[in-house]
C-alpha cells in the first residue's frame, strides 16, 4: 500500500500527473527512514531535515509533525511491518502539478507520497566492507538540501560502478566531500575526520549519530575538510547512511586502506551503533 496525495493506493495503481514538478524538474524533497523491528529510528531528525529542506526550496508543507508521524505509522501498519521486520520508509513531497514553467507557480499544492519496503541490515557487507573509487563531485552547490533532483548522484555512483567499485568518494578540486548517497569519515591516529556540515554535503542523520557516539566515548572528531592525500594516508575509511549504517571502505581506487580489513575504530563504532539502535526509543 502506498500513500499518494491523500489516498491509499495499491502498488502498480499509482498515477503521476505528467506536469507534476517532481516528475518534470526533480522539484521536491524526500527522506528515507530506517525501520528497525517495526519502528522508526531517528524519526525526529528526519522530520526536522524534511522541514528544513522544504524551507530551503521555498516550499511550505501543509502538514504538522503529528500528521506526518501518524502517516508514517499508518504506512508501517498497512504494509504489515511488524516487530520482526527491518524495513525502510520512503517519503517524498513534490512541489505539485501545474502548467510547466521554471519559476514557482503561486497557489500550487505539494503532493506527498510514501511507501515502505522490507530491508535487512547489511550485516555481511558491514563485516567485509565495500570498495570505493574517487570521482569528481559534479553535483550542485546545495547538497545540504535532500532534493529529488539526484542526477549528479546517479552519475557519480555509476562512474564508480563502471570502474569496478561499489561506491564513489567525491572530491571538489581535490577536497573530499562525501559519497554518492552517504557521508564519508576517515580515521587517522585514532581520531575521526569528516567534512563540515555546510552546503557541500548532506547533513546525514547517521553522520550526526556517529559523531555523537564517538565524542561520548572519548573519540575526537574533526568536522573539517581534508584532501585526497589525507584520505590516501588514512588508517581506516568508512561511510555512513540510514541504510548502509557504518560501512567500512576497504580500498580506494584499487589501493587497500590499512590492511584491507575493517579496522579497530570502525569495529568499535559499529558496536556502539548497534547498542544505540537497541537502546534508542523508536517511534
Site membership for ligand PMP, residue 181 (CB under 6 A): yes
C-alpha cell at 181: 548517497
> Taking the complex as a whole, how short is the minimal distance between the CB of residue 67 and ligand PMP, in angstroms?
22
> Taking the complex as a whole, how short is the minimal distance between the CB of residue 185 and ligand PMP, in angstroms?
11
By beta-carbon distance, which residue lies closest to ligand PMP? 204
Least Cα distance to 70 among 43, 108, 34, 35 occurs for 43
Site membership for ligand PMP, residue 194 (CB under 6 A): no
The nearer residue to ligand PMP, 3 or 43, going by C-beta atoms, is 43
Q: How far from the centroid of its chain's Cα atoms is residue 75's Cα?
A: 20
Distance CA 198, CA 177 (A): 10
Total chain residues near ligand PMP (CB under 6 A): 13
> Taking the complex as a whole, how short is the minimal distance between the CB of residue 6 and ligand PMP, in angstroms?
27
Residue 91 near residue 112, CB atoms below 8 Å: yes
Secondary element (H or E) of residue 116: strand 111-118
**Binding track, positions 201-220, relative to ligand PMP; x by CB under 6 A:** -x-xxxx-------------
Region 229-258 residues binding ligand PMP, contact defined as CB under 6 A: 240-242
Burial (Cβ within 10 Å: 0-12, 13-18, ≥19) of residue 254: exposed
Active site residue 109: no
Distance CA 74, CA 67 (A): 10
Site membership for ligand PMP, residue 183 (CB under 6 A): yes
Residue span binding ligand PMP (CB under 6 A) among the ranges 4-12, 21-29, 180-188, 249-257: 180-188
According to DSSP, residue 138 is labeled -
Neighbours of 194 (CB within 10 A): 25
Active site (catalytic) residues: 146
Residues that bind ligand PMP (CB under 6 A): 153, 178, 181-183, 202, 204-207, 240-242
Amino acid at each position: 500500500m502506498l500513500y499518494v496525495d491523500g489516498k491509499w493506493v495499491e502498488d502498480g495503481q499509482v498515477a503521476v500527473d505528467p506536469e507534476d514538478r517532481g516528475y518534470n524538474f526533480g522539484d521536491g524533497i524526500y527522506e528515507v527512514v530506517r525501520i528497525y523491528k517495526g519502528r522508526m529510528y531517528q524519526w525526529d531528525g528526519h522530520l526536522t531535515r524534511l522541514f528544513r529542506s522544504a524551507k530551503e526550496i521555498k516550499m511550505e508543507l501543509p502538514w504538522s509533525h503529528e500528521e506526518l508521524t501518524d502517516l508514517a505509522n499508518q504506512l508501517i501498519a498497512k504494509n504489515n511491518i511488524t516487530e520482526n521486520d527491518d524495513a525502510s520508509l520512503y517519503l517524498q513531497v513534490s512541489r505539485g502539478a501545474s502548467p510547466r514553467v521554471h519559476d514557482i507557480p503561486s497557489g500550487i499544492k505539494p503532493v506527498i507520497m510514501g511507501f515502505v519496503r522490507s530491508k535487512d541490515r547489511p550485516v555481511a557487507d558491514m563485516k567485509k566492507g565495500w570498495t570505493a573509487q574517487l570521482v569528481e563531485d559534479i553535483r550542485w552547490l546545495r547538497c545540504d538540501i535532500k532534493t529529488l533532483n539526484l542526477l549528479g548522484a546517479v552519475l557519480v555512483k555509476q562512474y564508480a560502478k563502471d570502474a569496478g567499485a561499489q561506491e564513489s568518494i567525491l572530491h571538489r578540486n581535490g577536497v573530499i566531500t562525501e559519497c554518492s548517497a552517504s557521508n564519508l569519515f576517515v580515521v587517522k591516529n585514532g581520531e575521526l575526520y569528516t567534512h563540515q556540515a555546510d552546503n557541500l554535503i548532506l547533513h546525514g542523520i547517521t553522520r550526526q549519530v556517529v559523531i555523537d557516539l564517538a565524542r561520548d566515548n572519548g573519540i575526537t572528531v574533526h568536522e573539517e575538510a581534508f584532501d585526497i592525500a589525507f584520505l590516501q594516508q588514512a588508517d581506516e575509511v568508512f561511510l555512513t547512511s540510514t541504510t548502509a549504517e557504518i560501512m567500512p571502505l576497504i580500498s580506494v581506487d584499487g589501493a587497500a586502506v590499512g590492511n584491507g580489513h575493517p579496522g579497530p575504530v570502525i569495529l568499535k563504532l559499529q558496536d556502539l551503533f548497534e547498542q544505540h539502535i537497541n537502546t534508542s526509543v523508536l517511534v
